[in-house]
Amino acid sequence: MPVDRPAARRSKLLQGVRAAKLDALLVTNPINVTYLTGFTGDSSYLLIGPRKTVLFSDSRFETQLQDECPGLEVHIRTSKTQMGEVLTRELPKLGLKDLGIESASMTVAVRDHLAEKLAGLPLSPQVSLVEDLRQIKDAEEIQEIRIAVRQAEQGFQLLRALLKPEMTEREAANELEHAMRRFGALRAAFEPIVGVGPRSALPHGRPSGVHLSEAGFVLFDWGAVSPRGYHSDLTRVIPTGKLPPKLDKVYRVVLNAQEAAIAGIRPGRPAVEVDAIARKVIEDAGFGKFFGHGLGHGIGLQIHEEPRMSPISRDVFRPGMVVTVEPGIYLPGIGGVRIEDDILVTRDGCEVLSSVPKGLDSLA
């Protein structure tokens, strides 16, 4: 009998709801609603508590909800009723004494409306009750991320066969997204970053009309979304000509930093320590001030989620986490190097999920 994973996740969340001494939690983040129900639509809230769990949605999704959420109680509103009206009418019927709300996703307008109409019901802001659960991926989620990684890698391999000197950054980005879709991706995980020469020093530069032939190297940062909505995130620098000597040195420093950090990932280790491993390699080489962002982040139903690796992270690695490791050095006017892979934390260490070559000779 197949496992009802959304139901199992709701059971785990209920433990957190009880621990927070709440009668129920109103889940308003659409990604969290999907995680807890399997519903892939939008404009829906999930009320979850020990005594009552109900998904509030609207008539556009009635058939979809029957397919995706069998067995889950659903309240359907029509176009004549706004979500706020439904909540202020239905919640008092449940006899709740306190209600948790997702403070990171609920808008001030919705919160103020509920507070006004439900004056006798305390609204308790909650942070990361669902996001903490999402940090640990189950077997099905890990398989979906593996699929997203393969789709990204296959798309990139096809793109490399299509690259021409006269192609622009924007054209290359469009070709890459199309290639990933050809291999089954739902879409790109984000607008691919393509930076030629000095433009590679822009960590999140948008593709432009610059031609690939205008410098001897190009940075690609890209990812795919699997059919079930899970993300991958990779970065490589590709030589298209002669790499400037300084960039050649920078590349090797970044690669050493990344490999050292990956080797340091294991359960029970604070993420800040792994960030420090990569940062020390870069600082010892004299490039510390050119590495300004965190070492990596979690991936899953979102491209950026918990845990985080940075100098201020409080996260600790646990089996089932999937993170990026992406040190970078960015030299204004010269160029930048970032190398990024997707890493699964295992029971005794970690597994690198991505396999695009990283050596300069193999990338040329």
What pLDDT shows up at residue 362? 63
Instruction: Say whether both 59 and 172 belong to one domain.
Output: no
Interacting residues of 355 by C-beta distance below 8 A, sequence separation 6+: 153
Q: What is the pLDDT of residues 86-102, one digit of tens each?
A: 999 999 999 999 999 99
Please tell me the predicted confidence (pLDDT) of residue 359: 80
Q: Let me know whether 232 and 108 are in one domain.
A: no
CATH number for the domain harbouring residue 334: 3.90.230.10
255 with 299, same domain: the answer is yes
- 269 and 351 in a single domain? The answer is yes
Task: State whether 77 and 219 are in the same domain.
Answer: no
Q: Which of 86, 108, 134 is the last residue of a domain?
A: 134
Q: DSSP H helical segments within 118-222, as ranges?
A: 129-134, 139-162, 169-182
pLDDT band at 1 (very low <50, low <70, confident <90, very high): very low
Last residue of a domain, one of 102, 134, 166: 134
| CB contact set of 318 (below 8 Å; sequence gap of 6+) | 135, 136, 267, 268, 345
Q: Is 0.75 topped by the overall pTM?
A: yes
Q: What is the pLDDT of residue 23?
A: 95
Whether 43 and 157 map to the same domain: the answer is no
How confident is the model over 337-347, as a mean pLDDT?
98
Residue 294 backbone dihedrals phi, psi, to 5 degrees = -70, 160
Confidence category of residue 145, pLDDT binned at 50, 70, 90: very high
The share of the chain scoring above pLDDT 90, in percent, equals: 93
- Among residues 114, 134, 154, which one ends one of the domains? 134
Among candidate residues 252, 257, 303, the one with its CA nearest the CA of residue 276 = 257
Whole-number percent of the chain with pLDDT over 70: 99
- pLDDT exceeds 50 at position 158: yes
Instruction: DSSP for 33-45, please give it.
Output: HHHHH----SS-E
Residues 102 and 159 in one domain: no
Residues 243 and 306 in one domain: yes
- CATH code of the domain containing 130: 3.40.350.10
214 with 262, same domain: the answer is yes
Tell me the C-alpha distance between 153 and 179, whole Å.
Answer: 10
Phi and psi dihedrals of 195, rounded to 5? -130, 120
CA distance 7 to 13: 10
Q: How many domains does the chain have?
A: 2
Q: Is residue 59 within 8 Å of residue 78, measured between CB atoms? A: yes
Does residue 191 sit in the same domain as residue 314? Answer: yes
Residues 162-180: what's their mean pLDDT?
Answer: 97
Considering the domain architecture, whether residues 101 and 187 belong to the same structural domain is answered as: no
How far from the centroid of its chain's Cα atoms is residue 195's Cα?
22
Note whether 109 and 190 are same-domain residues: no
Give the domain range for residue 65.
5-134
